[in-house]
A and B are shown apart, each in its own frame.
Chain A
Amino acid sequence: QKEVEQDPGPLSVPEGAIVSLNCTYSNSAFQYFMWYRQYSRKGPELLMYTYSSGNKEDGRFTAQVDKSSKYISLFIRDSQPSDSATYLCAMSKTSYDKVIFGPGTSLSVIP
């Protein structure tokens, strides 16, 4: 079993839809959770950063962490064509440990 699993997609939604992206993980020691967005042939860009369980909102993006279920989610409201990218979840055990990335979910937002 991989440490971090993520549905690779591709996920295709119409503009304006609410998008839900999810990851599951196996190691309960993970405490720090991140979401990155990666456009084609570019480096990943940090979108959201959360510590432990709970929700965090930033504009159209909401990150949720459920440590009891070992499940994290990223919600995108009012999705835009510019949101079309690969979304990578990532997590680490400590604030300075190596970060483990999920394989990424490819999202296309259709105008």
Chain B
Amino acid sequence: EAGVTQSPTHLIKTRGQQVTLRCSPISGHTSVYWYQQALGLGLQFLLWYDEGEERNRGNFPPRFSGRQFPNYSSELNVNALELEDSALYLCASSFRTSGRNEQFFGPGTRLTVL
């Protein structure tokens, strides 16, 4: 069974630019979560999508946004990039109605903002 996939693997952008990160969940999983992991910091919850709807949002500014498609894949968009947005962006998926909150992570997209 294929795991969570993310693209691209690495990305270099400059301040003020916009970026789109992509995530494909494990087959059958309906929930997608996005996290930011800055160097030396823990995972910070960004967004949770389930069945195409945004279910919860972490303490991030509105320039972080996303969406979930009918096939449950998801995009994370970051506008007006700032230097502190440099981080590993992780996507996780789970099967929400399984009764178990087990999230399975992808390898991440490493974003560097210059």
A: residues with CB less than 8 A from B are 32, 34, 36, 41-46, 49, 51, 88, 92, 94-104
Contact = CB atoms under 8 A, between A and B. Distances in A.
Given A32-B101, A46-B104, A103 B41 contact: yes
Query: Is chain A's interface secondary structure helix, strand, loop, or mixed overall?
Result: loop
A45 B101 contact: no
Nearest to B110: A41
Given A95-B101, A101-B42, 7 more contacts: A42-B107, A43-B4, A43-B107, A96-B50, A99-B33, A99-B45, A99-B101
Nearest to A32: B101
A9 to B, nearest CB: 12
Considering the complex of A and B, which 9 residue pairs feature the smallest CB-CB distances, nearest first? Answer: A43-B105, A103-B42, A101-B43, A96-B96, A95-B101, A92-B101, A43-B107, A44-B105, A32-B101
Contacts of B48: 98
A98 B56 CA distance: 7
A68 to B, nearest CB: 22
Nearest to A46: B102
Interface in B80-105: 88, 90, 92, 94, 96-105
